[in-house]
Amino acid sequence: MSQFQNSKKNDKFDLEDRTYYFAKNIRDFVKNCLKKSVSNLEYGKQLIRSSGSAAFNYIEANECLSKKDFVMRIKICRKEAKESRLWTRLSDLDPEYEKKRKNLIYESEQLMKIFGAVLEKCK
């Protein structure tokens, strides 16, 4: 099980929790791992926004008013996960934090695939 997963009583994984933990882990990564530089300041802001947006839009998708609204929110989730991957890759950090970066990139890619699969099922 990934460090991003939070098992429930029935071992089913809650995507709302997963996106929450993704945003939380991104926040901690920005706070603790990024070098203090002008570019990282901007990348960090964008990274926190995009990861939080993926989590928020998934919550909104679950409260959607229509199928069209749901599909749009899931598309936004996928887009924001993809954007999070970009900002994570661009961030400048010490080599000791490279494993954390790779884990976050992996998780953003997994979220992109999950949201893509959800969209396929909506067709």
* pLDDT per residue of the chain (123 residues) written in tens, 0 to 9: 344 444 444 334 599 999 999 999 999 999 999 999 999 999 999 999 999 999 999 999 999 999 999 999 999 999 999 999 999 999 999 999 999 999 999 999 999 999 999 999 998
* 37 domain residue, yes or no: yes
CATH number of the structural domain spanning residue 26: 1.20.1440.60
Give yes or no for a contact between 88 and 104, defined as CB atoms under 8 angstroms apart: yes
Which among 1, 8, 13, 11 is positioned nearest to 114, based on CA atoms? Answer: 13
DSSP codes, 1-20: --TT----TT----HHHHHH
* 7 domain residue, yes or no: no
Q: What total of structural domains would you count in the chain?
A: 1
* 73 domain residue, yes or no: yes
* 10 domain residue, yes or no: no
Structural domain of residue 91, as residue ranges?
A: 15-122
Cα 75 from Cα 39, distance rounded (Å): 28
pLDDT score, position 4: 47
* 88 domain residue, yes or no: yes
